[in-house]
Amino acid sequence: MDKPDDHAIALSIAQAVEADAELIAALIREEEQARQDFELARQLAHNPNAMAEADGGADHGELDDETYRTLRAFNIAAQHEENTGVEAEPIHEETHEASSVAGGDETDDGNTTDDDPQADAEDQNNREASQDDVFHMDEAEIQAEDSQIDGIQHEDTQEERDADEHPGTAQAASPAHSDLRVGTKECLYCTEEFPEDEVFEAPCSHGMCQPCLIRGIQTAIKDESLFPPKCCGQAIPVNATNAFITEDLLTEYDNKHEEFETTDRKYCSDKACSAFIPLRAIEAGVARCTRCEKRTCLNCLSEAHEGTCIDDPESQRVVRLAEENGWRSCDRCKNMVELTHGCFHISCRCGHQFCYRCGRQWKTCNCPQWEERHLVARAVELAAAQAQARARARALAPVARPVQPPGCRHRNYRPFDRVEGEDECDDYQAVLSPNDDAAQSEPKTRLGGKKNIVFILTDDQDAVLDSVSYMPKLKEHIIDKGTSFVNHFTTTAICCPSRVALWTGKQPHNTNVTDVNPPYGGFPKFVSQGLNENYLPVWLKEAGYKTYYTGKLFNAHTIHNYNSPYPAGWTGTNFLLDPGTYDYLNPIYQHNQEPPVQHKGVHTSDLISKYAHELLKEATDSKNPFFIAIAPVAPHSNVNLRRQPGTPRAPLMTTPIPLERHTHLFEGVKVPRTENFNPDSPSGVSWIHKLAQLNDSSVSYLDEFYRARLQALQGVDEIVEQVTKQLEDAGILDETYIIYSSDNGYHLGQHRLPPGKECGFDEDIRVPLFIRGPGVSSGFIDNAVTTHIDLAPTILRLAGADLRSDFDGTPIPVLPTQENKRHEHVAVEYWGGAIAEGQIGGFDGKGQIFAQNNTYKGVRIVHEDYNLYYSAWCNNEHELYDLKTDPGQLKNLFPHDDAAADTALLGTTSRQVLNRLDALMLVLKSCKGNTCIEPWKILHPEGGVTSLKDALQAKFNAFYKEQVKVRFDRCEYGYLIDAEGPQVGYEYREGLEWHHWT
């Protein structure tokens, strides 16, 4: 085709301009009007008197009175913000030399002015962190907090009083509002300004730009718990967003809406498709996939087939009835036969003859009744069995007989009967057989056998870096008086998911609380998952306990949502709330149902000590068995929420702030120089492997950070002593279990990492667990593998309450006579990113504080013969460490070629060990209930395999070689099953190979 000449092109442009002349002219007028509006707004912003002059009936140019009043109100609001000092407060940067105050005296350790480019860069990086331990408030909430509304009470600081006396100073410090725009609207989520016609207005009147709106809809489509997309709790009418989203996205949303609205959903049996099948495509027990056109049987959920489905619900009902009543089915015609009288010889109506007892063809088995010698042998067998049963009964009877103890004061004592005037005899005892040691050790107290329980839970305290050695009161009152569980792990190395797992006894993939903030975590997610009515304090109250809590409960538990709903199950509370949870010198506490109170200049550790004492007194005065949880934030980083004018509030995470009386302690103490501390060679995988070695100044900062953590823990150490002495003074110390642990661990320079957690290394997942109490061995070290999901079952067991059938964990054998299901494994899982805390310069030394794609699955195995950690990351990198030879987890043994796969490990090869670990992790990554406790039963249902050692038998090599390997389909920030790769493996049957199952 010939190229058009210049004349033709010019003519075409002219025709286009003529055709669109009116539209172009309108656009030019709008741009000019916008320019004039902006100029007017700029003048108004710099000259407030201009509006006063304009009020006298001055001409407003082309603006009508309503528009002019709107602009004037806008300017007044801006000036009010400047005059009230909302954003004029200078930014205080805490350093390692920061000293706390006691008794209300506050000290500042320096500040950074607004024109400091380094501080601006750091603040910008902090604002970019989308996931951290801090609740992010929108603009309205910040103003609400700063204006002291919503019931928040606090005293003004000296700086605030000075600002009130000299308002001009604060106003001068604030930059002029020179960026005021007319005809624009702010997006609530990214806080950027957009033209009004490019911002979708939600039902709550908040604005959403097109990218944020699309992202919100896409996220809701992936996660049913977020569907439909909402803003301020109100559903966004997606069908009214046609101008902002594509037709494909709208269709995808409508399809998901139909899927999520369907209660009994069916999906395509083709694993490569797995599409939802709408009700309109289902007929006569068969579902036709609208995507791939394949047909699925609704009974067995496999590819459609001819004839009656053996998984048909009615057929299954008949099978269950047959099992309950001992019916037999004919091998030939499959009809059920019930024997009501007569011999075992069955002649079915189809002509087939079989033995009713074993189901085999008649006279082909060893059952009696078809030959005389079998009948005689059976009679002899029965007679011998009956004689043995009678002898055993005589030996065991009675196994328990109630007796009246010498100290019983009740006159009309009768075994098993209620005593007049009492519900039961408090002094009742049972003499048990020697075999019932566990029941024999159960304590009997003035509380009817129920023991009190105190649980002290710190924040971010690891069990690896020796912090416990600097807590002498903890050693004196709990460690030396109780049992140390030295192989105790959290399943998720971050606060909120770990705490929810602890209080529910469930893996995070079963609570679906996988982050510290919405949409995937925090207190709102905990409530939305129905867990507020289904966790430990609720169960303890049902068991007759008074329950109390003080300190940090969950993340995103805030001054705005603390009572919507209020955490269930607690008799008395004093919760720490965001945004003051981690602010050591400005904490916000909220007592029972009362409004929150901010305590400016008062150290959080002194406050929680006071509240713990008050709640413990209330508990002891109640004369009821009680459970009290004390959850200080130490040694978590100190977090200040600071704000630059016109920007969202961003977190500043610094060293923890100790009490003033502890700041002189531990001079010269350094982070333990373990082999993995700032190693010369990189370690780990993914983003960790790319970290540069820390310089000398960073290492010095880590030492200061470590000392600050130890100093902050001294406040906790004092609480430990206070609690034990208070219990002793009340005369109930010997009737009380005291448990000490932490939500997750912490790293400081190991693997070149800046301060933080969220990794799968032992520093992050291995945490302290010490328990003292009646019947607990003193000064004992227990090597059993225990996890946070075991704590809720353990506490219920100690309380004498029934265990729940859906627990993913099992009670820890606290008493030496208790025998529980012990396990060698820990299922480790994490979703989202990783945060660099402190002021070390982030992960790259230049301010990068957030690492993407930190989602991984892991399994930690501890046995006397081996000590392993294996993980698979969402980018499908893998790592394997043998901690017996490499306790620092520096040498990744995961093979990258065939030669490495044949390296010797555990008496076999790395390849064989990994095949077993992959199969085990595949079970654990989606386990529920007892499967999480005994995962090998899924792989070996016939029994005989309960550990990795058992599974390493050579006869299983072919089976494990063919098992599905753990992998991810993509990286996500929450638990989205379609991103998690394969979910199901196969169980072992001797003699069967892979093709039999596929």
Give tens-digit pLDDT for 41-50: 444 444 434 4
pLDDT, residue 809, reads 97
pLDDT tens per residue, range 11-25: 777 677 676 777 777
971 is catalytic: no
Could you give the 3-state DSSP secondary structure of residue 689? helix
- The distance from CA 72 to its chain's CA centroid, rounded to whole angstroms, is 48
pLDDT, residue 389, reads 58
234 pLDDT more than 80: yes
pLDDT, residue 652, reads 82
Tokens of 493: 């190395």
CATH 3.40.720.10 for domain 452-642+656-894, yes or no, is yes
559 pLDDT more than 70: yes
pLDDT tens per residue, range 238-256: 888 888 899 889 988 988 8
Catalytic residue among 495, 496, 927, 932: 495
Out of 131-145, 479-493, 596-610, pick the least confident: 131-145
pLDDT, residue 626, reads 98
The Cα–Cα gap between 539 and 26 comes to 68
* pLDDT confidence band for 903 (50 / 70 / 90): very high
281 pLDDT more than 60: yes
HSE on the CB side for 559, CA within 13 Å? 25
* pLDDT confidence band for 433 (50 / 70 / 90): very low
pLDDT, residue 785, reads 97
User: Smallest Cα–Cα separation from 757: which of 620, 890, 658, 635?
Assistant: 635
103 pLDDT more than 50: no
pLDDT, residue 379, reads 61
Q: How far is CA 538 from CA 289, 534, 569, 959, in A?
A: 44, 6, 4, 44
pLDDT, residue 831, reads 98
Beta strands 626-631 and 452-458 are: parallel
Average pLDDT, the chain: 79
270 pLDDT more than 70: yes
More confident residue, 260 or 917: 917
DSSP state of 664: T
pLDDT, residue 613, reads 98
Helices 21-46, 6-19: axis angle to 10 degrees equals: 70
Percent of the chain topping pLDDT 70: 70
Residue 486: how many CB atoms within 10 A of its CB? 17
More confident residue, 791 or 71: 791
The Cα–Cα gap between 473 and 478 comes to 8
733 pLDDT more than 90: yes
pLDDT tens per residue, range 347-375: 886 778 888 777 777 777 656 555 555 55
- pTM over 0.85, yes/no: no
Out of 190-199, 620-629, 642-651, 788-797, pick the least confident: 642-651
pLDDT, residue 988, reads 64
β-partners of residue 782 are 485
pLDDT, residue 337, reads 81
HSE on the CB side for 857, CA within 13 Å? 31
Residue 623: how many CB atoms within 10 A of its CB? 10
Specify the length of the chain in residues.
998
pLDDT, residue 847, reads 84
* pLDDT confidence band for 394 (50 / 70 / 90): low
Segment 428-452 shows an average pLDDT of 47
Dihedrals φ, ψ of 470, to 5°? -100, 20
523 pLDDT more than 70: yes
β-partners of residue 277 are 266
β-partners of residue 861 are 825, 868
Tokens of 565: 């709903």
pLDDT, residue 728, reads 98
More confident residue, 148 or 9: 9
pLDDT tens per residue, range 169-228: 333 333 333 333 447 888 887 778 899 888 998 888 888 899 889 988 988 888 887 888
71 pLDDT more than 70: no
pLDDT tens per residue, range 678-727: 999 999 999 999 999 999 999 999 999 999 999 999 999 999 999 999 99
612 pLDDT more than 70: yes
Give the domain ranges of the chain.
35-173, 313-365, 452-642+656-894, 895-998
* pLDDT confidence band for 320 (50 / 70 / 90): low
909 pLDDT more than 70: yes
HSE on the CB side for 641, CA within 13 Å? 23
